[in-house]
Amino acid sequence: MASRTSLQPPRTIVFITGASQGIGQQIARTLSTPSVHPGYHVIVGALVESEGEAAVSRLLEEDSSRSLSVIPIDVTSDASISAAAGKVAADFGRLDVLINNAGILLDGLEQTVTNRPQFERTFQVNLFGAAAVTEAFLPLLAEAETASQGPPRIVFVTSRVASLAVKSDPTDRSAARHFPMYRCSKAALNMLMLHFASLNPGWKVNGHDPGLTNTPLAQGQAGAGSVQDAAVNAVRLATLGGGGETGTYSNAFGIIPW
């Protein structure tokens, strides 16, 4: 398991699921840039370890002073989640920031919800995975709080299309887009986020919508934006201080109605 760190001892430990490509990789890129976020160590959570290694190599080629490591994690496997949490505990003894980014979109633009295996798989990754990962990392986040590392932060990467207000507004451009399995899983993820926010009132637990973004998940939909833009609000939420918000659902333009 690769671990490459800079000479500076890391002060802020970040773990991102699904970070070997797409928006997760971009969040890793930004948070591990020492000139912007000094002292941050980013752990790239990767479904396929070799792809995580390749992502770390790319990021180090861009800037060799980054502090990065890789931990394999399949969010649908409790054994994999437990091994990942155990590795973070052994390497760092705490976690300051958890970013639940791993996600899938299987229903494309279909309108059917009767594909039970796809529906179940979508929830396994997007909801049950984020729930199990968060619960497994709670003790390590609590360690960060005890060590006075500032408020522990959890970012749930959700979507604006999860908003009931957006879906029920016929004038909203995304209301007519379907993918109901994905929308349902992310709407439930918003409730899960609020659960963890209320459980830990001193922490900063928030939902982030990246917006339609040009990654494999977006399946070539027209109008997709850049991963750079998609990561900005996630990074803001991942670096909140004591005065920052908690229990919110936002994107680069501000608060999203539930």
Q: Which residues are catalytic, by number?
A: 182, 186
What is the closest distance, in whole angstroms, from the C-beta atom of residue 114 to ligand NAP in the complex? 22
- The span of 30-38, 63-71, 99-107, 145-153 binding ligand NAP (CB under 6 A) equals 99-107
* Contact indicator for 175, 168 with CB cutoff of 8 Å: yes
What is the closest distance, in whole angstroms, from the C-beta atom of residue 126 to ligand NAP in the complex? 6
Residue 251 CB-half CA count within 13 A: 17
Please name every residue paired with 69 in a beta bridge, in sequence order, or none if there are none.
3, 43
Question: What is the distance between the alpha carbons of residues 249 and 85, in angstroms, rounded to a whole number?
Answer: 26
Q: Which residues contact 199 (CB under 8 A, 6 or more apart)?
A: none
For ligand NAP, the binding residues in 207-236 under the rule CB under 6 A are 209-210, 212-213, 215-218, 224
Write down how long the chain is. 258
Interface characters, 142-161, with ligand NAP (x: CB under 6 A): ---------------x-x--
Interface characters, 34-53, with ligand NAP (x: CB under 6 A): -------------xx--x--
What is the closest distance, in whole angstroms, from the C-beta atom of residue 100 to ligand NAP in the complex? 8
What is the closest distance, in whole angstroms, from the C-beta atom of residue 242 to ligand NAP in the complex? 27
163 binds ligand NAP (CB under 6 A): no
162 binds ligand NAP (CB under 6 A): no
Interface characters, 51-90, with ligand NAP (x: CB under 6 A): x---------------------xxxx--------------
Which burial class, exposed, middle or buried, applies to 85 when counting CB atoms under 10 A from its CB (0-12, 13-18, 19+)? buried
The 3 state secondary structure assigned to 114-159 is CCHHHHHHHHHHHHHHHHHHHHHHHHHHHHHHHCCCCCCEEEEECC
For ligand NAP, the binding residues in 179-198 under the rule CB under 6 A are none
Question: What is the distance between the alpha carbons of residues 105 and 122, in angstroms, rounded to a whole number?
Answer: 7
Exposure b/e, 115-144, CB count within 10 A at least 16 = b: eeebbebbbbbbbbbbbbbbebbbebbebb
- The span of 14-22, 32-40, 83-91, 195-203 binding ligand NAP (CB under 6 A) equals 14-22
Contact set with ligand NAP (CB under 6 A): 17-18, 20-24, 47-48, 51, 73-76, 101-104, 125, 129, 157, 159, 209-210, 212-213, 215-218, 224
